[in-house]
Amino acid sequence: MKKPRLEDMPEELRAKLKCSYANPDCEHWIWDCSSFWYGDDPFVYGLPEYGQWALPLYSDTHYDWGDVRIIPIARGKPLPYGIEPVPGFKDWALQILGGDPDTFFFTGTIEDVKRQLDSLLARDSPAIPPIHIPPELGSLEQAKDSQGQPIYRDGKPVWHLL
């Protein structure tokens, strides 16, 4: 099954986002933790906890109607909570929760994802602050061979914890 991309977003959802902005009661992104997924199956429980940026949304017509989440993805799954995406990380999911949840996948930097999201909202979202994860929990980095070249298996990068 094809993973939905931002360009696959339905027009009615685009219209709803176009009159939405950061909730005035919480005008900042929150590094959050979740353990269930909104995707092809509406709710998938039992995943290991994973990290996500969350921003509550507000609209003059829809009021406090939901939130948007940016989730780092590795090997087709959310990065486990406590693993920080390294600078330049490129695989993300954008979840829009409010009514029926929608999930879209994006390849690019976190700044690219935010720019795309901002183009869909009534006004730009706040800056995304850095993630503060204790260094002892580690981060994800692409594995490299003894010459420092990235390792690929079946055409996909191999990742490891630092």
pLDDT of residue 46: 54
Residues in the chain predicted with pLDDT less than 70, given as ranges, are 1-2, 35-48, 62-64, 99, 131-162
Instruction: Find residue 107's DSSP bridge partners.
Output: 91
- Residue 91, token pair as written in the block: 């695989």
User: From the CB of residue 59, how many other CB atoms can be counted at a distance below 10 Å?
Assistant: 19
Gap between the Cα atoms of 89 and 16, Å rounded: 29
